[in-house]
Structure 1
Amino acid sequence: MTLDMLRAEPRASVATMRAAVIPGPGRIRIEAAPLPQPGPGQVRVRLEGCGVCASNLTPWAGPDWMKFPTAPGDLGHEGWGVVDAVGEGVDDLAIGDRVAALSYRSYAQYDLVEAEAAAKLPPALGGKPFPGEPLGCAMNIFARADIHAGQTVAIVGVGFLGAILTRLATDAGARVIAISRRPFSLELARRMGAAETVPMDDHQAIIARVEALTGGRFCERVIEAVGKAWPLDLAGELTGERGKLIVAGYHQDGPRQVNMQLWNWRGIDVINAHERDPKVYVQGLRAAIEAVSSGRLDPTPLYTHAYPLERLDEALNATRDRPDGFVKALVTFP
């Protein structure tokens, strides 16, 4: 074959996208990855953005079990965007639909989603960010917590999740005691409706304060939303007799020892609020869309930091370090 023949021969073009890859602990690089093609029952979403989840921080730190480099877009699971390709057998979504999606490689320009794991965003949410996974998670946790008017609810840890749950519990008629480390978080809790705020500094002082605020009864419901050992221990101490302790924090750093004597004596119910049924995930997502689009819930002030994909490392570090004023980071795509 001559050089002229090589030049004249048409070449197949391979469509690509920009995607983040984590080659090692605390590092990112942006690569050109093949544009994924939807299979049966799938849609492809051209992403507008993806929230940054605190569950990313353990893989980001590089534990022994983590494998590097990650797949393109890996760890991103809070994406939203516009459907731009539809696989065979998909009838309820069409090209051009704006959706929130439950997918798992959304630190990229595009991601594939099972059609049943995507939910349309109504016109009322047009142009607004919508990290559906954490919002749906908050709705499912709230449902599992079984909160009613007149109850006292302690929320241990006021980040994005704790702030949303503070608003939901307050709107249900509960009296919320918010407990958190940062003064900014305590002020945020007050803005979200908390009746009382307690600095999370001294273990015994917190217990004494909540005991005083509840007349010695402690709380009918306690939601632990940190994912660390001490807040979980504290949450157990704050749960009253026959109350419910709801574990909403994501515990990734090893086993936990709990005060089973106390838990037995008080007869508390312990609820692991992490869902694993995809259908329940989607139920929470749809409930979140309804709550936000109706105006019942406004998470917009909680999206405090935004970064382009090239600065994903800064977004992850901010999620870890929580500078003053930080609640939630979004990675956005122009």
Structure 2
Amino acid sequence: MGQQMVFPSPRQVALEDTPDPPLGPGEVRVRTLFSGISAGTELTQYRGSNPYLHKRFDLERRLFVDDRPGLAYPLKGVGYEQAGEVVEVGPEVTQLRVGQRIWGSWGHRSPVVLAESTAAPRVLPEGTDPRLGIFARIGAIALGAVHDAEIHLGETVAIFGLGVVGQIALQLARLSGARVIAVDGLEKRLALARQLGAEHTLNFRQVNPGEAIKALTQGRGADVSLELSGAYTALHEAIRATAYNSRVVVAGFLQGEGVGLRLGEEFHHNRIELVSSQTQGIGPRLAHRWDRLRQEQTLMQLATQGGLHLLPLITHTFPFAEIGAAFALLDQQASEAVQVVLEFP
């Protein structure tokens, strides 16, 4: 028997036993080593604010409709930042062996059975710290936002929100040849951003970001801004901070009504382009060449070859049995954490 996490109801966490099925011919059994908690999507499911809990997304028309919820408690299968070790291979498996470590998205659970075709492209190099594997999917979200930003060498990029996605995006923007201005309201996160290469950091509790970024760019504004916090007030400041006729990429999971977002001001007068960057899709200019697997593989190559520094993002590690305390920390004391990790026995 294995175990998986369940949300029985809002702000409730439980572990339930799950069967450990026999392997099919082309399958492998993976023991989870580490699992990361997403402080965006997973917290909306934990808190009950996720739109799928209140409406249904009609895929044919791509509209949220009110006829019934798309999700309902108890919620199972939550989690998309996992790293594990192959402990058994089924008949006909040729590309994997016991002991190899892989990354993927299979929820807060252990063990898990995966198809060889799923696991084989996601093998970590030998000797790699397996915790790097938890960043593949969340890092791909940051990469998608940076791709959507279409950064050019020598440009100034403003990053709003220095959680996990923001800290990865600022490193990717620097690798793209940009100077980065990083904005947040937490000094610990601003200090981490400076450590990871931000040229300037701004605490929005102390300065007005829009005015400060215009001052740092000789009045022009950021060439492109990335809103990665999921706060409407941050999106408004990102719009204010961005140069005339330029772009704001929005990847934060905004919740509820747009309080604090005044689109009749700088957005309207400065012809700002808003681009939605969303994990389920690739921008139209890249979709014929890029997919999710390529994004994730790119992140892992950068991380394992030293181009990205991801382990400093881990601030807390909990035993899997204490997963309830991990979610409570992110829910009630978010300022204390960046990446929270679960360690499996």
Q: TM-score, normalised by structure 1?
A: 0.84
Q: Deviations over 1:97-128 (max 9, x none)?
A: 3111133xx21112344555441111141444
Q: For 2:168, what is the secondary structure of its paired residue?
A: helix
1:151-170 paired onto structure 2 within 5 Å: 151-170=155-174
Alignment CA distance shift 1:177-1:44 (3 Å): same
What residue in structure 2 maps to residue 11 of structure 1?
none
What residue in structure 1 maps to residue 74 of structure 2?
69
Matched, 1:189 2:193: yes
Q: Deviations over 1:289-315 (max 9, x none)?
A: 110111111211111101111211221
Matched, 1:274 2:264: no
5+ residue gaps, structure 1: 1-15
Counterparts of 1:92 and 1:251 in 2: how far apart (Å)?
41
For residue 321 of structure 2, the aligned residue among 296, 310, 317 is 310
For residue 100 of structure 1, the aligned residue among 100, 103, 119 is 103
Matched, 1:56 2:61: no
1:114-125 paired onto structure 2 within 5 Å: 115-118=116-119, 119-125=122-128
Alignment CA distance shift 1:142-1:42 (3 Å): farther
What residue in structure 2 maps to residue 47 of structure 1?
32
What residue in structure 1 maps to residue 3 of structure 2?
18
Matched, 1:32 2:35: no
Identity %: 27
Deviation at 1:281, TM superposition (A): 1.6
Counterparts of 2:29 and 2:324 in 1: how far apart (Å)?
25
Alignment CA distance shift 1:101-1:38 (3 Å): farther
Q: Deviations over 1:37-70 (max 9, x none)?
A: 5668764422111100021111111345352222
What residue in structure 2 maps to residue 8 of structure 1?
none
Counterparts of 2:254 and 2:23 in 1: how far apart (Å)?
33
Counterparts of 2:265 and 2:116 in 1: how far apart (Å)?
47
Q: For 2:8, what is the secondary structure of its paired residue?
A: strand
Q: For 2:147, what is the secondary structure of its paired residue?
A: helix
Q: Deviations over 1:152-209 (max 9, x none)?
A: 1110011111111122222333111111011111111111111111112278x22221
For residue 228 of structure 2, the aligned residue among 210, 225, 229 is 225
Alignment CA distance shift 1:242-1:251 (3 Å): same
Instruction: Give the superposed CA RMSD.
Output: 2.7
Alignment CA distance shift 1:213-1:245 (3 Å): same
Q: What amino acid is the match of 2:309?
A: D
What residue in structure 1 maps to residue 298 of structure 2?
287
Deviation at 1:280, TM superposition (A): 1.8
Q: What amino acid is the match of 2:293?
A: V
